[in-house]
A and B are shown apart, each in its own frame.
Chain A
Amino acid sequence: MGLDDNILELKHITKLYPGVVALNDVSLNIRRGEVHALVGENGAGKSTLIKTCSGAIAPTKGEIVINGNSFSNMTPQTSVKNGIGVIYQEFNLVGDLSVAENIFLGRAIRKGMLVDLKAMEREAKKVLDSLHIDISSKTLVKTLSVGYQQMVEIAKAVSQNARLLIMDEPSAPLTNAEVESMFAIVDHLKENGVTIIYISHRLDEIFRLSDRVTVLRDGQYVTTLNTSETNKDELVKYMVGRQLTEVYPERKKSCIRDEVIFEADNVSGNGDHDISLKMHKGEVLGLGGLVGAGRTEFAELIFGMHPKKAGKFIFKGQEFSPKDPREAIDVGIGLVPEDRKKEGALLGMSIRSNINMPIYNRISKGTVVNAKKEQEIAEKYRGEISIKTPTLDQLVKNLSGGNQQKVILAKWLAANSDLLIFDEPTRGIDVGAKQEIYTLINTLVEQGKTVLMISSEMEELMGMSDRIIILAEGRMAGELKKAEFDQERIMQLASMERKD
């Protein structure tokens, strides 16, 4: 086995989605028997890359070479047949079946026409024993902890003779003790000659487990390093080392007032712990962090979608604990959610209805809608934030992403919200519309409104925010003033190891 004994070679993999280059000419070799870490920011292309290996998606261009055999079009079946196993973040397990049945799901051992449960349990036990996993093969999967469920997934892959195991953020759902057990299994697999591709944003784990590490950034291959010859700072530098090219519209300097409009005091709940922060009138506060850091969850607490467990919110000088979004809306809070189509817009309804939806109770006499007012309000915001449509009867599903986002924003302007929460405001929106959204955000704060902006795009976060608070693992990891903004610093704070 020389150095060039590669179990997997990715050659010039490109994956295009409409308007987005998810992967751009990525080439990468995985050596037989190594633990190869894959790191990068949100949206760097890690998940897309492993999905091309597993056959879940077909690359637009490029070639995948497994054990010297070339494939231009991988299917999930050929991937498994060639010894590739993937442990996704979401498990593919059936809770009401036993461990043994899950391990042999879809390829049950049979005796004639009947399923041979005994044989499956026996075989499953062999696999579990070989991995030193201490659970009975007869246990129902739904009764297992997340950590053990993950081990069942690993056992399933091993029982299918996986020689290359790809693990996508395997430690994310686990407790600290479970992470240790998972590491032990990874070590054990490696001793048995299984190659592992390990994806994680926790840099400590990378140094604990991997032999080599590859950095991706914005869908492009950056570098591959021997883990023993690098350190965290260098990795972070490679992960974020991009030129800041986007230009952000200028904002009047004097927007921020002294008045504190919103305050969270040691708030816990919905997976977040002890969050304390203040927002000033006219400020754009950026909320940074990795996917799963608890940013959206914090927004959900403010907007009354989940009850907080501890701590308090103070809004406009008064303590408030919204029980549902209606209460949050009534005091003057609006949420532009991350998933526009699922949570933001009522796609099957007209622009007019969408804009007026939160305020129908305000523009009605009794319960009868004042149709004239309804039309006027919709008309006003169509003009004010230039929603491009021939008629307000247009169904929102027929609008472009940028215009849909504007309709959602118009709804909160109509409701007279003072605090606007933007969760990934420009995701899936084309460049021109992005600039319009940025300008709108500026207009809002110039009018004295306050914006809380959650963004996974580093550039956007730094370009738009007056101040950035970084969350990691549901906790505050740091706060940076405008003068202190720095890609590496943000990345370091965001990938802080957990302390629980």
Chain B
Amino acid sequence: MKKATNGIKGRAIWVFLVIMIIFFSVTNKNFLTVKNLLNVAKQVSIFGIASVGMTYVILLGGIDLATGSIISFVNIVAAFFMVNMGLNPILAVILSLAASTVIGFLNGIIIAEIKMPALIVTFASQTIFGGLAYIICNGVPISRFPDAFLKLGQGYVGPIPIPVIVMAIIFAIGAFILNKTYFGRYFYALGGNEEAAELSGIRVKRVKCLVYSLSGLFAGVAGLVMLARANTGQPNAGVGYEFDVITCVVLGGVSVNGGSGKMSNVIAGVLIIGVLSNGMVLMNISSYLQMVIKGIILLLAVGSDCIQQSNLLKAKAVD
């Protein structure tokens, strides 16, 4: 019985996605075309990529508000490396990803060692690296990149845009880490009960550092794809992205209390946001109203999670 309801709950998000697709297909004949659907995938690729790291963070019961700023920061440093310093694109990519990983690591080490709330640490780091992005480029966008690099954001393999392929690869890596390596087991353990996890031999601080580092790394990848797509490095490129990313992850059923969630459902969460945005644009819904609707959906997603949690607690109390 319990298993059955879990199964339905696990798939509910996909059912919701299908219903949405049917709804938009019926209301707009331009929606259900291969071209448009690939377009949707392309549009969500950037927060899709970043959502993998955010999934780990939220699984741990934490939050990473620095994601958007890391995207902006990587935008600028990668552009600076390639255009201002004339570095080889591959080297520039490696250095930028290293930088974004270090930012994540710093967040993690402060959260783990000083035990500051993740909300504050990553908020501070959002402000710091957002500001540094402006300082590096003096507030002026940087453009004119090597063609090879632009392929990352604008190229196609057959009909499929490269950003979508990058997203698919990152999701595959993300799911592999979560389901096949012992780090994945550690993430669930730590998010479920930090004390018991530590007493089972998990080095809690190291795992926290790892998770925030990964969140930084994946945000970095997202930043690079965005840079290649836009063809200009902008210091405000990623502003506010963390909220879209958090929305995707939470919509994908990862509990904000930590300890439970699945990567496959996060993919559904990402697609829902993509379909919703695209469908609403096709229906000529104003971008202001779109914001309202997204906010309401976030509230509903977290609300249903919280209601389930409190029902669980009640059930326990009755036991």
Contact A369 B180 (CB under 8 A): yes
Q: Which of B183-191, B240-248, B288-296 lies at the interface with chain A?
A: B183-191
Determine whether the beta carbon of B199 is less than 8 Å from that of A343. yes
Inter-chain contacts of A337 with B (CB < 8 A)? 199
Contact of B185 with A357 in the complex, beta carbons under 8 Å: yes
The residues in A between 336 and 385 inclusive whose CB is less than 8 angstroms from any CB of B are 337, 342-349, 353-354, 356-358, 360-361, 364, 367-369, 371
Nearest-CB distance from A355 to chain B (Å)? 10
The residues of A that contact B180 with a CB separation of less than 8 Å are 368-369, 371
* B189 and A353 contacting across the interface, CB-CB below 8 Å: yes
Given A346-B193, A348-B260, A364-B181, CB of A357 within 8 Å of CB of B200: yes
Q: How far is the CB of A307 from chain B (nearest CB, A)?
A: 15
If A360-B182, A369-B181, A398-B2 touch, whether A326 touches B201 (CB-CB below 8 Å) is: yes
Closest chain A residue to B203 by CB distance? A326
**Distance between B266 CB and nearest chain A CB, rounded to angstroms:** 18
B195 to chain A, nearest CB (A): 5
Q: Which residues of B sit under 8 angstroms from A348, Cβ to Cβ? A: 188, 192-193, 259-260
The bracket for how many chain B residues form the interface is 20 to 34
Number of residues in A with C-beta < 8 Å to the partner? 32
Q: Measured between alpha carbons, how far is A330 from B201 in the docked complex, in Å?
A: 9
Q: Which residues 169-185 of B have a CB within 8 angstroms of A?
A: 180-183, 185
A324 at the interface (CB under 8 A from B): yes
Asked whether B147 is an interface residue with its Cβ less than 8 Å from the other chain, the reply is: no
The reply on A163 being an interface residue by CB < 8 A is: no
Establish whether residues A367 and B200, one from each chain, have CB atoms under 8 Å apart when the complex forms: no
Of the A-B pairs whose beta carbons lie under 8 Å apart in the complex, a sample of 27, sorted by A's number, is A303-B199, A305-B198, A305-B199, A325-B198, A325-B199, A326-B202, A342-B196, A343-B199, A344-B199, A345-B196, A346-B189, A346-B196, A346-B200, A347-B193, A348-B188, A348-B193, A348-B259, A348-B260, A349-B192, A353-B185, A353-B189, A356-B185, A357-B185, A357-B200, A358-B200, A364-B182, A371-B180
**Complex Cα gap A83–B197 (Å):** 46
Q: A354's closest neighbor in chain B, by CB?
A: B200
Residues of A within 8 A of B196 (CB): 342-346
Complex CA gap A344/B181 in Å reads 23
Whole-angstrom CA separation of A353 from B192 in the bound complex: 12
Say yes or no: is A36 at the interface (Cβ < 8 Å to chain B).
no
User: B181 touching A335 by the CB < 8 A rule?
Assistant: no
- Chain B residues near A344 (CB, 8 Å)? 196, 199
Whether the pair B203, A360 counts as a contact (CB closer than 8 A) is: no
Alpha-carbon distance A369/B186, docked complex (angstroms): 12
Known A-B contacts A353-B185, A367-B183; the reply to A325 vs B201 at CB < 8 A is yes
Give Cα distance in the complex from A402 to B201, angstroms.
Answer: 22
- A342 near B188 with CB under 8 A, answer no
The CA of A125 and the CA of B26, in the complex, are separated in Å by 76
A263–B186 Cα distance when bound, in Å, is 32
The answer to whether A335 touches B199, judged by C-beta atoms less than 8 angstroms apart, is yes
Is the Cβ of A369 less than 8 Å from the Cβ of B193? Answer: no
How far apart sit A335 and B200, CA to CA, in the bound complex (Å)? 9
Q: Inside 8 A of A349's CB, which chain B residues have their CB?
A: 185, 188-189, 192
A64 within 8 A of B: no
Chain A residues within an 8 Å CB radius of B259:
348
Q: A353-B185, A367-B182 are in contact. Are A324 and B192 (CB under 8 A)?
A: no
With A and B bound together, what is the CA distance between A360 and B203 in angstroms? 13
Query: CB-nearest residue of chain B relative to A395?
Result: B2
Q: Is A308 an interface residue (CB 8 A)?
A: no
**Shortest beta-carbon distance from B201 to chain A in Å:** 4
Distance (whole angstroms) from the CB of A424 to the closest CB of chain B: 15
B270 smallest CB distance to A (angstroms)? 24
| Cα distance A371–B200 in the bound complex, in angstroms | 19
Q: Which residues of the other chain, B, contact A361 by a CB distance below 8 angstroms?
A: 182
Chain A residue numbers with a CB within 8 Å of B192 are 346-349
Which residue of chain A has its CB nearest to the CB of B200?
A357
Instruction: Give bound CA distance, A360 to B192, whole Å.
Output: 17
A237 to B201, CA, bound (A): 44
Q: For A329, what are the chain B residues with a Cβ–Cβ distance below 8 Å? A: 201
CB-nearest residue of chain A relative to B177? A367
